[in-house]
Structure 1
Amino acid sequence: MNPGIIARDSVDISGILDAPEVIINGTIFTSKWCHICKIYRPPRCRHCYSCDVCVEDLDHHCFFLKKCIGKRNHRFFYTLLFSLTVYFLLMFSFCTIFLVKYPNAIFLSKITTFILATILLLASVPLFFFFAFHTYLIAAGMTTYEQVKVKITVVI
């Protein structure tokens, strides 16, 4: 799925045209020039150096999916996080129920189930916090890049 890639321009117009200004909620934003894509980027658009493209509302580049998470695919990424969190917690619950309900099961199956439950629990905890973080970002109307940028400017 296209994350919101802005098409490149083959002609360098940086010296010809002035930077376009966009008014959003009464605030004037000056578009920034991307030297790599040779375009004026709209507000909240960033250049992804992993994919080498400009993406609208770039949240981050996901190295697990090998894709940018942007304006057009963020809801699918969020659904993936939710689905994985629910799946891991359900599988952990099923493993726990098996261990409690069948205490006289074969030793090897109990050990295997215990190891699987431990791995699922260890994987689901950070995944849950990542899902909660993205829930917060959606509620705040921010991207991961903007959240990190705000934290950096507050510290400095």
Structure 2
Amino acid sequence: MGSSTYRPPARTMEVVINKYVVKLKYCYTCKMFRPPRTSHCSVCDNCVEVRSPCPWVGNCVGKRNYRYFYAFILSLSFLTAFIFACVVTHLTLRSQRDGFLTTLKTTPARYPSALVICFFSVWSILGLSGFHTYLVASNLTTNEDSTRGWCGSW
């Protein structure tokens, strides 16, 4: 029987910050007390403050790089909406000159595929940027929003 002198730290620790008591949780993987609004990411194996991992960019989106991620999805939303509008405008103008069916017959793969791809991309990317605009406006993280539930109570 060997005596082990290692004792894991307490699971939580209370700290006073600006006259408020804040409960910090211990992360056994990172071996540190996590700051508030931080969660451990199983993808990058680090504690990420404020935000969560994003499978679309293949990176954890945290406090330091969230503004770049948000700017990226907003610009991507504008780009896909612009491309969709340009394809529709070009198809409409060319259809007025040659006729709709003639335009589709002369370029059978270009317009329908571009319209379908842009249509679904616009809705998914606009939905993602709309969701993150909601998160920014309500000062929530993705994890906080998903654990909050539909009724809005913790």
Deviation at 1:13, TM superposition (A): 8.2
Q: Which amino acid aligns with 2:62?
A: G
Deviation at 1:33, TM superposition (A): 0.3
Deviation at 1:118, TM superposition (A): 1.8
Q: Which amino acid aligns with 2:134?
A: Y
Please show how residues 31-46 of structure 1 align to structure 2 within 5 Å. Answer: 31-46=24-39
Query: Does the 8 Å contact 2:14/2:21 carry over to 1?
Result: no
Higher RCO (C-alpha under 8 Å, 6+ residues apart): 1
User: Secondary structure of the equivalent of 1:92?
Assistant: helix
Are the structure 2 counterparts of residues 119 and 15 from structure 1 closer, same or farther at C-alpha, using a change threshold of 3 Å? Answer: closer
Residue of structure 2 aligned with 1:76, choices 51, 68, 76: 68
State yes or no: 1:50 paired with 2:48: no
State yes or no: 1:66 paired with 2:64: no
CA distance in 2, matches of 1:120, 1:13: 57
Are the structure 2 counterparts of residues 97 and 152 from structure 1 closer, same or farther at C-alpha, using a change threshold of 3 Å? Answer: closer
Deviation at 1:107, TM superposition (A): 2.5
CA distance in 2, matches of 1:42, 1:127: 31
Which shifted more, 105-114 or 86-95? 105-114
Report the TM-score when normalising by structure 1: 0.80
The CA RMSD measured in Å over matched residues stands at 2.5
Residue of structure 2 aligned with 1:86, choices 78, 90, 108: 78
5+ residue gaps, structure 1, are: 1-11
- 1:65-117 deviations in Å (ceiling 9; x for gaps): 11111100111111111011111110011101111111224724254112201
Q: Which amino acid aligns with 1:139?
A: A
Identity of counterpart residues, as a percentage? 28
5+ residue gaps, structure 2, are: 1-5
The structure that has the greater radius of gyration is 2
